[in-house]
Amino acid sequence: MTDMLATLLKITVVIFMAGNLLDLGLRLDLKAALRGLRDVRFVTLSLLWAFVLCPALAWGLTRVIPLSAPYAMGLILLGLTPCAPLLPMVAEKARGDLNYAATFMLLAAAGTVLLMPFAVPLMVEGLTVSAWEIAKPLLMLVVIPLVIGVGIQIRWPSFASRIQPLVKKGTGLDTVLMLILVLIIYGKGFLSSIGSYAIGTQAVFFLLITAGSYALAFGMPPSQKSVMSLGLCTRNCGSALAPLFVAADVDQSAIVMVSLGIPMMFLSALIAARVFAARAGQPVTRPA
């Protein structure tokens, strides 16, 4: 029974990742997102935080706080995978620039696929998996669905607008099922993590990356700072789980640590969005 539930969970994670990226591609204003790539300050700070400072902070916390090895593994994987698909939703609540949200998602997707296969073997101790084994699911579940969605949106925009609500609804139902399975399979693991520094370490991690990236985004308007900070405090837990699902003999506590990031990032993002909205000096910029 447990094996069947674990298999079903892996299927829901696959649908969650592919469905959300397909949904993004179907509604992505590619021209607006690409325009954001010409903003050198935004791109530089986003990449620096996403793929240098966040992984370094996660790694540093595992050296300062006495986490067990599996929990440390899970935290580092979370540190390597920025930006959950819910970024546009929380960016809108924060009165952020939604065109820049699309830009950040493109940067995060490309950076994760390019860097994670090489960073994981270097940074994550005890995870025996090759670069290609990590890259393969990321290509299949991140790049290909996004490219398909963008291609449909460009070639057949009316068809994209018709199927996008269905894809979004189906992915939403899958997300609910995935969360239920996570609670069923790893609920005891969540309870056992109390007192293990796992929850407290994640709280420190999310607080530092959210507040730090916003406070240190010098020269950027609030609508862009909020997008970058929310993109960083929402973590792509599906991508973080991918190496754990393909590796052999993974301690379940590592999966528990990554799964714990799901409610933690929701809470962090919603609180941050309210704070950023109060600081915003202009209304939401909607994609053209």
Domain ranges, ordered by start, for the chain: 2-279
Q: Residue 65: enclosing H or E segment and its boundaries?
A: none
Burial class (CB within 10 angstroms; exposed 0-12, middle 13-18, buried 19+) of 216: middle
C-alpha dihedral sign at 22, 178, 200, 2:
negative
Per-residue model confidence as pLDDT tens digits over 96-120: 998 898 899 889 988 998 999 889 8
pLDDT, mean of residues 143-164: 91
176 HSE (CA, 13 A, CB side): 5
Percent of the chain, pLDDT > 70? 97
Q: Does 288 score more than 50 pLDDT? A: no
Q: Where residue 48 falls among pLDDT bands split at 50, 70, 90?
A: very high
Average pLDDT, the chain: 87
Q: Does 193 score more than 80 pLDDT? A: no
Q: Does 283 score more than 80 pLDDT? A: no
Tell me which CATH code domain 2-279 carries.
1.20.1530.20
Q: Where residue 281 falls among pLDDT bands split at 50, 70, 90?
A: low
How much is the pLDDT for 285?
47
H-helix segments, 65-156: 69-79, 87-93, 98-123, 131-138, 144-155
Count of beta carbons in the 10 Å neighbourhood of residue 204: 15
| pTM for the whole structure | 0.86
pLDDT, mean of residues 36-62: 95
Give CA–CA dist 24/167, Å, rounded: 10
How much is the pLDDT for 1?
61
Q: Residue 8: enclosing H or E segment and its boundaries?
A: helix 2-27
pLDDT, mean of residues 227-247: 89
More confident residue, 14 or 59: 59
Give CA–CA dist 59/65, Å, rounded: 10
Count of beta carbons in the 10 Å neighbourhood of residue 62: 23
